[in-house]
Amino acid sequence: MIAIKADNLSRTYTGEGAPVKVFSHLSFEVPAGTFAAVMGPSGVGKSTLLHLIGGIDRPDEGRVEVFGQAIDELPPRLRARFRNEKIGFVFQFHHLLPEFTAEENVMMPLLIAGASQTSARSRAHEALSLVGLHERRLHRPSALSGGEAQRVAVARAIAPEPDLILADEPSGNLDTASADHLHELLATLAHDQHRTLVVVTHNDRLARTADRVLTLRDGRLWPSAE
Confidence at residue 224, expressed as pLDDT on a 0 to 100 scale: 60
The phi and psi torsions of 138 (rounded to 5 degrees) equal: -95, 5
For the chain, residues with pLDDT lower than 50 are 225-226
Confidence at residue 187, expressed as pLDDT on a 0 to 100 scale: 82
Which tens digit of pLDDT belongs to each residue from 27-36?
889 999 899 9
| For the chain, the helix, strand and coil percentages under 3-state DSSP, each to the nearest 5 | 40, 25, 35
Which tens digit of pLDDT belongs to each residue from 87-131?
999 887 788 999 999 999 999 989 988 899 999 999 999 999 988
- Cα–Cα distance measured from residue 108 to residue 106, given in angstroms and rounded to the nearest whole number: 6
Contact at 8 Å (CB) between 103 and 37? no
Q: Which residues contact 111 (CB under 8 A, 6 or more apart)?
A: 117, 120
Q: Which residues contact 18 (CB under 8 A, 6 or more apart)?
A: none
Write out the CATH class of domain 2-223: alpha beta
Strand 196-200 and strand 35-39: pairing?
A: parallel
Residue type (1 letter), 101: T
Confidence at residue 225, expressed as pLDDT on a 0 to 100 scale: 45
Q: Which residues contact 21 (CB under 8 A, 6 or more apart)?
A: 10, 11, 12, 219
The SS3 assignment for 36 reads strand
Cα distance from N-terminal residue to C-terminal residue, the chain? 25
